[in-house]
Amino acid sequence: MTPVSNDHELRVSKIRHGTVIDHVRAGQALNVLAILGIDGGDGEEVSVGINVPSDRLARKDIVKVEDRELSQDEVDVLSLIAPDASINIVREYEVVEKHRVERPDAVEGVLSCPNPGCITTGGEPVTSQFEVLEDGVRCAYCGTITREEIASLIDT
């Protein structure tokens, strides 16, 4: 992807089929790739725009994933680090579906509790569960609240 920009416009090549994740907070694109399990070694074609101009956010990141439509679980986790994001499903170069992410009430099995004393980190066969707060997440088992660095808790 080669962005070409002037004072009023950003142009990025279109994808034929796949998902465009737009309006990601600047600096979060690499965390989006981690959530999606994209590490550059699996042959997925991905375009990333980092810290590009945005009318809505001042600066934003954009992630385009060719030949992949996101699951609802993936969108739920994305909403934790990119609450302003929009998801665009593209088929034959046309956006056929567009929606904003919505934060779920809870997420299960996608985050690790940062509390070393939590039952979920002690080797017990327990799936992590977090209540989604307005400004963070709370572990359902030990009550630990994380407001910053939620991306660092993501199980990949």
Binding residues for Zn(2+): 113, 118, 139, 142
Of 32, 35, 14, 15, the closest CA to residue 23 belongs to 32
Report helix, strand or coil for 9. coil
Report helix, strand or coil for 120. helix
Report helix, strand or coil for 148. coil
Cα dihedral angle (9, 13, 14, 18), rounded to 10 degrees? Answer: -120
Which residues participate in the annotated binding site? 113, 118, 139, 142
Q: Please count the residues of the chain.
A: 156
